[in-house]
Structure 1
Amino acid sequence: MSEGAAAPSRPAIPPAFWALVALVACERVALRLAPDPVALARATGIIGALVAGALGLLARTPARAVIPLLAVLSCALAAGALACSLELARQESVGRALASGSVSSWELRVAGDLSEGASGWQGRAEVLTDGRRAGSVWLSAPEELAFGSTITCVGRFSANGEDAWGVSSRMQGLAGNVRVVRVLSRRPRGGPLGTLEGLRGAVLASFDAPSSDARALLAGSVCGSSAALRSRGLDDAFAACGVAHLVAVSGGHLVLVCALVGSLLSRTSLAPGARAGALLVVSALFVAFCGAPVSAVRSWAMSLVASAAELVGRRAHPLSSASAVGIALALAEPGVSGQLGYLLSVTCVCGICLFGAYARFLVRLLVGRARPPRGISPPASAALARASAEAVDALALTLVSQAVTLPLTCAVFAQLSLVAPLANVLLAPLFSVLLSLGLVAACLVGAPLAQGVALACCDAVGRAFVGLLRALAALPLASVPVEVEEGPALALLAGASVLLLVWWPRPSRRALVGLTGVAVSCVLAWFLRWRLLAPACVRVLDVGQGDAILVTDGAHAALVDTGPDASVVEALARAHVYHLDAVLLTHLHDDHVGGLDDLLAVVGVDRLVVAEGVGGSTGAWDLPVSEVGYGDALAVGGFRLRVVSPTGPVDGTHNADSVELALSFDDGTRSLTALLSGDAEKDETGAALARCDVGDIDLLKVGHHGSEVSLTQEQACALDAEVAVASAGEGNSYGHPDPVCVEALERSGSLFLCTKDVGDVCVEPGAEGPRVSCEREAPGEVLPW
């Protein structure tokens, strides 16, 4: 693009967009803060003021023209409050009915594909009364239940609590959880939808999704069934590459469906209006066939709005259409405002409508005009130019989509894909080919021989797609752990968007290149500071009811245990750790190893370390494995971690099998000694003391989460730790840490801290004793020892 190329004009923002923003924000706040009317009223007022302020900044019309917009905003807030009141009343009514009576007296209809977890199959279900939907619940079952089937069962209902899970369920329109004990009856759905669901089941069976990565991808993209993708680990690769939207049935799928059907209809004698109607009907059937995911429903509804506008002689305005559809969905089902699929779909489409053209301008300005190689023919040169332009457009739209959805994706998945722009440019064309072939294969489900040919082609393209996907996901720093709080991040995004819309700069290419270079340099310097110059410290991470201890020094980092779940990824993001030399598992209990799969999907790990005798139980993790025994030592920068227990081979299944590590650091000016106990208790720690493997220390990571049997008063005095830290989850059912343990440590003179109270605890070597700082206390406090 030339230096003087004009920037696109500032987009026109319709009143419907402001109404959508106010409505969704109001519904999310109302459903989150439902039990607290004072907080709810305050938050609703703040939302109205912020949206009105943004509107005022952007309004370039006389004050009298703003008044109707403020009226629209007020109506949106009122409508959202009313819709949420009705939704909360419905949840309360359903919950009260299920809790007061027998679950077996109700019918439940499976509302989507169930996913298999450690405790059975989980998914959503509709509660039916007289064949009509009364509400929705989570469904947990001991066996797989077909999508669309209606069941009666013996089970137990649990209403939503005020914990994070309960609030999230309420925000998604779910009244609680029904745990199925025994299925009494089941029947498929009848009518046209039942026929469509039966066809979907036949297509899925013909695809044989569990048999290969390519078939799992086919089932997800054509039928909207992601179970096989999850079971084969492809969902982690999609997340790492930032291309999960490709397989989620949405607007891109409908475009291909309409293109294929449109090419067939163009050969008929149907009038244009009839062809448009046929396309809408076929695309609606495809959306229903895929299980009507909200992103696909939104896309289809936008097509309907655009077609209606064309029929009445008006040109469709994409942002108005997206806003109107988003409003309709949120009013009809307020729970969608708490569902990630809806939020990502609406945010992405609105973001592209607002900033897509501007992003294309900036990217084209940055990369400049590509000159075709010498000696190629004019047709080849034209094809190369088209491909280059399409790649630039895909890159621009990917950057916009990723930017506007960052607050949501980073808050939910705790990772940021750095390879997403490249991955989208490379993978999107292959995916379009695969989806087209898959749609043809689905249509041939009744002709096995012809379908076999189509599936063979799908396999070839699918293997190429998955191979490239996994290669991109395996790149160093393909994705990095991040910790983002959704609310502040959304506020920051909104502020930046308003600033950009008001400013709407038209930079020169030189200025844009310089600004990009500065930004990249700052990010690179920040990354290198944490990757190569991390402070020497032992950090007991707050991962809930589990253990995870991070040891860092300079360019080296190791993790002792991984906590119970994905919270370890967020904890590593707080510590700015993007690579681990090793992960040492003290033993194989879930609260110490449960987060390893999530960690491996985001953070690079060189090797896995376990106790002698446990290596044969680590086959589920594709990592080099080292076994360590009594007396062996590991180096992490200037830290030395020596194994002091167990003294022989173990199988890792008992607390007594826990690896206990005596840690030491001394660089001549600063020092630190510690005992990291895993789940070892007083017998194991007492034996280590008796062998003189450990003595007076600075830091004790209290064994077994501070249970009563963690250590005795005598052992606490012998260790004489300046700081004792227990890792436990808030409100845990075990009562950890036990008052007996806490009292013993405090009597010995230790400062006792627990992660459930203070968050992450960082202990650094010091010249006159350890330096201790806590996530939720003033950092840098120097202990008086």
Structure 2
Amino acid sequence: MALNHIVLAACAAFAAGIWLAELTSWHLPLLIILVILLLITAARRIAGNSEQSFWSITGLFFMAGMLCYYQAVTIRSDDISQYADKTAVVEGTIDNVPEVIQLDEQKKLVRYILKAEKVKSEKAEQTVMVSGKLRVTIQYKRAKANPAALGDKVAVNGKVLNLHRYNNPGQIDLTAAPKRQGITARMNGQEESVRLLATSPNYSWQAALAKWRDGMITGLKKVMPANDAAILTAVLFGGYRGIDKSVITDFTATGLIHILSVSGAHIALVAGMIRWFGKRLRWGPVLTLSLAALVIILYACMSGLTPPVIRSALMGLISLLAVLLERDNYTPVALAGTALGMLIYQPLLLFDISFQLSFGATAGLVFLYQRTTGYLSQWPSWLAGPCAVTLAAQLGVMPVIAWYFNNFSLISFVANIVVLPVAEWVIILGLAGVIIYTVVPVVGSIVFVFCSLLIGFVMMLTSLLAAVPYSSVYIPSVGIAGSAIYYSLLAWMYGWRPFHLPGPGKMIKEWPYATAFTVMLLICVIIVYNCYPKPLTVHFIDVGQGDAILIVTPHGRTALVDTGGTMGDTDFDIGERVVVPYLKHYGVTGLDYLILTHGHQDHAGGAAGIAGSIRVAAVLLPQEEHSQAVQALLHTKPAVAVIPTYTGQKIRLDGVIIRIDQAVGEHTENGHAPRGNEVSSVIRVSYGEHSFLLTGDLEAQGEAALLAKNVAPCTVLKVGHHGSRTSTTEPFLQAVTPEFAVISAGYGNRFGHPHSETIQRLAARKIEIYRTDRQGAIVFCSDGKTMTVDTYIK
């Protein structure tokens, strides 16, 4: 059996084992017994030179993948995460170069990774030894405050919380990277929450490198505009901080977003530069490739040795070794071997989006590029080459792009021909500028000025290309089964012929009518399936401490009630980063109605981001003074049509009735509209025998007003004000008599929602309770008679 086949099969089997272990639960002793049996079988067959040893080895790697996954997710009994939801004092050592984010002239956020050593919980009498790492975020309010440094011993006081993400399908898992670093919990606090116990006496190359990098970034800011400096920083060291959001949007739309982080393209450019110099200066292959390897390693260290950088550097080093050994045909082995090694070291990388995209795209280039070039042989070489590279890479990751982004950039083919060569010169000049600036700052600054001019040109080109109509198309999420079908069809089109199947060209040539009929039949089936009425679905999206409810009617008409929103000093847009990806994941590319119960940030903060990302036909706004979030919505482009809400207002969509049971601003006290959560509009969604009562932030006073209007019963109650004790009163529950209650609240929120009193009132009436902080997205389906519910976290 060829080495290529063995390594590829081992990598695929190991990854499949990790994936299956994540989906299912197995007893560890049973797995160990199976591994031992497979190991014995494989050893006997290898010793006997049996051809069946291939399958034994493959099975062994499959079981090894499962074991490695369980080992990676197993948390020790003394881990700091065992103290989650408890207030405690944690002592430990700072395990990273602290990340400093300047909020304004005075305030700054500092993010530490604390290697926990001791803990004393609030009610405990003594200190206990612990293990694991804690991510600590501290806000400093004084400009002269000195944060702790790498290696310092500190004690932090606060509430220990589990790592938590937005638990929605298609959402990028923001907790995956910390978990791979051994971080199992988090804590937030103020400057007084941290107490320095001892400073580190040891020299740290990481701190020295971070200081050098900060000095380099400061030098960039001195000679170029802030946005240009942020872009060049991203290109050289990774990270999007400080880059204008419109620039990131344009780079994403043109398929060039990978340029803004250190990737395989950067490593390839570095290696290419050294090999070019080596050839011109006649250094010889050994010296040239050795220098290229050394520069790649130094560049990886300079960029912070993040997992994507390590992955790219390993691929570059293996490629250089293949060139040195004159074994270019070992590229598939290098790819599979690198992936296998990284998965053995960190099995959870399999679920990392950058891992999936980089290896998928590289696999596309390795296995599809040559044949794609052959398909485009009639094109001019200057056009066929870049298009073949782009197409091969995109085909390799299409299901991943569909799952996470639901968007394919058609303009990326043009961008790779027009913009990418200029962007590559930015990388080359930027790296040269870094080296020169370290030795001769004045000359390095001149190089950075030229980089700034090129960056301006790149931004102009990407802006123009991103503005081209229909430059990108929507692609639906296909899931595991759809991905398997896609890759099988792709392999068949590119030469894989199991069971002596004919290729696509032969089928069209020999059976043109049968082929055409089959294609037309498939198209008709897809059209009928999409047009056939489906159940009503009501989605309670996990937006943390906020509300966002999506209503999808039997024929695909849509309404969104509230949009979520973040509090405090952050530029994280819930609407753009959480709600829009959720909508696209379910095929929603536009909204018929966007309805806001009231203008508070946690209900309307994401509205502007949503309206700026997808089509919104009409917005129903409460009749109240417009909050900052609502004003941002009204200033989005294109402008949205605004409809004021009033009690009794009805919207009919495919037999679904959306009714405003109570509108903001209609009941007053002493001639003044009440302020606070009790002014929240109340919305009822009815379909057949079932109804949903969406109460926003309604509190006891608003519930009393509803009771005075003889509020009708409902099947599902969206509990008011995230489960606050001041909502969901006994008289109200007695009147609406729900079967299900949904509480939309953020994990570990500072308000303590949902309050225990509310939970007790619901439980006393045997109402089935669902919570977004524990179960993630919650989806109800109804055909008008029956009702089913599904949760993201089972």
What TM-score do the two structures reach when normalised by structure 2? 0.71
Residue 16 of structure 1: how far off its partner (Å): 1.4
Deviation digits for residues 262-301 of structure 1 (CA, Å, limit 9, x no counterpart): 4444442422321222222222222222222333333332
The 5-angstrom pairing of residues 229-248 of structure 1 reads 229=243, 232=245, 235=248, 243-248=256-261
Match of 2:311 in 1: 298
Deviation digits for residues 214-261 of structure 1 (CA, Å, limit 9, x no counterpart): 5433322222122234x7365566556655434332221122223334
Deviation digits for residues 94-140 of structure 1 (CA, Å, limit 9, x no counterpart): 759999997444232238898999995557677899xxxx9765443
Structure 2 unmatched ranges of 5 or more: 42-47, 119-130, 168-172, 566-573
Q: State the alpha-carbon separation in 2 of the partners of residues 422 and 520 from structure 1.
A: 28
Match of 1:172 in 2: 180
Residue 598 of structure 1: how far off its partner (Å): 7.1
Residue 700 of structure 1: how far off its partner (Å): 5.8
Residue 578 of structure 1: how far off its partner (Å): 1.9
Q: Which moved more, 1:577-586 or 1:501-510?
A: 501-510
Instruction: Label 1:674 to 1:141 Cα distance change in 2 as closer, same or farther (>3 A).
Output: closer
Q: What SS does structure 1 have at the residue aligned with 2:419?
A: helix
Match of 1:55 in 2: none
Match of 1:382 in 2: none
Instruction: Label 1:178 to 1:509 Cα distance change in 2 as closer, same or farther (>3 A).
Output: same
The answer to whether residue 720 in structure 2 is matched with residue 703 in structure 1 is yes
Residue 714 of structure 1: how far off its partner (Å): 5.0
Match of 1:457 in 2: 453
Deviation digits for residues 126-158 of structure 1 (CA, Å, limit 9, x no counterpart): 7899xxxx9765443436999995444332595
The 5-angstrom pairing of residues 477-626 of structure 1 reads 478-479=473-474, 482=477, 484=479, 501-503=496-498, 506-508=503-505, 511=508, 537=536, 539-541=538-540, 543=542, 546-552=546-552, 556-563=557-564, 568-569=579-580, 572=583, 576-589=587-600, 592-593=603-604, 596=607, 599=610, 603-606=614-617, 608-618=619-629, 619-621=631-633, 623=636, 624=639, 626=642
CA contact under 8 A between 1:655 and 1:681: conserved in structure 2?
yes
Match of 2:665 in 1: 647
Q: State the alpha-carbon separation in 1 of the partners of residues 533 and 67 from structure 2.
A: 51
Residue 320 of structure 1: how far off its partner (Å): 0.7
Q: What SS does structure 2 have at the residue aligned with 1:388?
A: helix
The answer to whether residue 302 in structure 2 is matched with residue 289 in structure 1 is yes
Letter in 2 for 1:108: D
Instruction: Label 1:160 to 1:91 Cα distance change in 2 as closer, same or farther (>3 A).
Output: farther
Residue 559 of structure 1: how far off its partner (Å): 0.7
Instruction: Label 1:480 to 1:87 Cα distance change in 2 as closer, same or farther (>3 A).
Output: closer
Q: What SS does structure 1 have at the residue aligned with 2:58?
A: helix
Q: State the alpha-carbon separation in 2 of the partners of residues 127 and 740 from structure 1.
A: 36
Match of 2:680 in 1: 658
Query: Among the aligned pairs, what percent are the same residue?
Result: 16
Match of 1:154 in 2: 155
Q: What SS does structure 2 have at the residue aligned with 1:255?
A: helix
Residue 318 of structure 1: how far off its partner (Å): 0.6
Number of positions where the alignment pairs a residue of Structure 1 with one of Structure 2 = 708
Letter in 2 for 1:172: R
Match of 1:393 in 2: 388
Partner of residue 687 from structure 1, selected from 679, 701, 705: 705
CA contact under 8 A between 1:587 and 1:610: conserved in structure 2?
yes
Q: What SS does structure 2 have at the residue aligned with 1:734?
A: coil
Q: What SS does structure 2 have at the residue aligned with 1:278?
A: helix
Q: Which moved more, 1:474-483 or 1:93-102?
A: 93-102
Match of 1:437 in 2: 426
Residue 580 of structure 1: how far off its partner (Å): 0.7
Match of 1:4 in 2: none
Letter in 2 for 1:558: A
The answer to whether residue 236 in structure 2 is matched with residue 222 in structure 1 is yes
Q: State the alpha-carbon separation in 2 of the partners of residues 191 and 697 from structure 1.
A: 63
Residue 30 of structure 1: how far off its partner (Å): 6.2
The 5-angstrom pairing of residues 104-253 of structure 1 reads 104-110=91-97, 120=109, 138-142=135-139, 149-155=150-156, 158=160, 168=176, 172-179=180-187, 181-182=193-194, 184=196, 196-208=209-221, 213-229=227-243, 232=245, 235=248, 243-253=256-266
CA contact under 8 A between 1:92 and 1:175: conserved in structure 2?
no
Root-mean-square deviation (CA, aligned residues, Å) is 5.5
Instruction: Label 1:115 to 1:478 Cα distance change in 2 as closer, same or farther (>3 A).
Output: farther
CA contact under 8 A between 1:547 and 1:562: conserved in structure 2?
yes
Residue 393 of structure 1: how far off its partner (Å): 0.3
Q: What SS does structure 1 have at the residue aligned with 2:503?
A: coil
Q: State the alpha-carbon separation in 1 of the partners of residues 181 and 485 from structure 2.
A: 27
Deviation digits for residues 689-714 of structure 1 (CA, Å, limit 9, x no counterpart): 5357x657787655345666545555
Deviation digits for residues 623-661 of structure 1 (CA, Å, limit 9, x no counterpart): 346473545947464756447332259999832131223
The 5-angstrom pairing of residues 269-348 of structure 1 reads 269-312=282-325, 314-334=327-347, 336-337=349-350, 339-348=352-361
Letter in 1 for 2:549: I
CA contact under 8 A between 1:726 and 1:755: conserved in structure 2?
yes
Residue 496 of structure 1: how far off its partner (Å): 6.4
What TM-score do the two structures reach when normalised by structure 1? 0.71
Letter in 1 for 2:665: T
Q: State the alpha-carbon separation in 2 of the partners of residues 145 and 529 from structure 1.
A: 62
Letter in 2 for 1:295: P
Q: State the alpha-carbon separation in 2 of the partners of residues 269 and 307 from structure 1.
A: 17
Instruction: Label 1:697 to 1:172 Cα distance change in 2 as closer, same or farther (>3 A).
Output: closer
Instruction: Label 1:551 to 1:39 Cα distance change in 2 as closer, same or farther (>3 A).
Output: same
Letter in 1 for 2:428: L
Letter in 2 for 1:354: F
Residue 174 of structure 1: how far off its partner (Å): 1.5
Deviation digits for residues 403-462 of structure 1 (CA, Å, limit 9, x no counterpart): 3xx24x555x3x31132x432542564134124224314533422651353133233223
Q: State the alpha-carbon separation in 2 of the partners of residues 249 and 460 from structure 1.
A: 20
Partner of residue 742 from structure 2, selected from 713, 726, 738: 726
Q: State the alpha-carbon separation in 1 of the partners of residues 336 and 26 from structure 2.
A: 28
CA contact under 8 A between 2:594 and 2:619: conserved in structure 1?
yes
Q: Which moved more, 1:579-588 or 1:606-615?
A: 606-615
CA contact under 8 A between 2:426 and 2:455: conserved in structure 1?
no
Instruction: Label 1:96 to 1:392 Cα distance change in 2 as closer, same or farther (>3 A).
Output: closer
Instruction: Label 1:716 to 1:592 Cα distance change in 2 as closer, same or farther (>3 A).
Output: same
Q: What SS does structure 1 have at the residue aligned with 2:406?
A: strand
Q: What SS does structure 1 have at the residue aligned with 2:363?
A: helix
Letter in 1 for 2:558: A
Q: State the alpha-carbon separation in 2 of the partners of residues 740 and 191 from structure 1.
A: 53
Q: What SS does structure 2 have at the residue aligned with 1:22?
A: helix
Q: What SS does structure 2 have at the residue aligned with 1:154?
A: strand
Letter in 1 for 2:754: Y
Q: Which moved more, 1:153-162 or 1:549-558?
A: 153-162
Q: State the alpha-carbon separation in 2 of the partners of residues 477 and 527 from structure 1.
A: 22
Deviation digits for residues 735-758 of structure 1 (CA, Å, limit 9, x no counterpart): 589456547988xxxx97757689
Q: State the alpha-carbon separation in 1 of the partners of residues 447 and 476 from structure 2.
A: 42
CA contact under 8 A between 2:99 and 2:110: conserved in structure 1?
no
Residue 20 of structure 1: how far off its partner (Å): 2.0
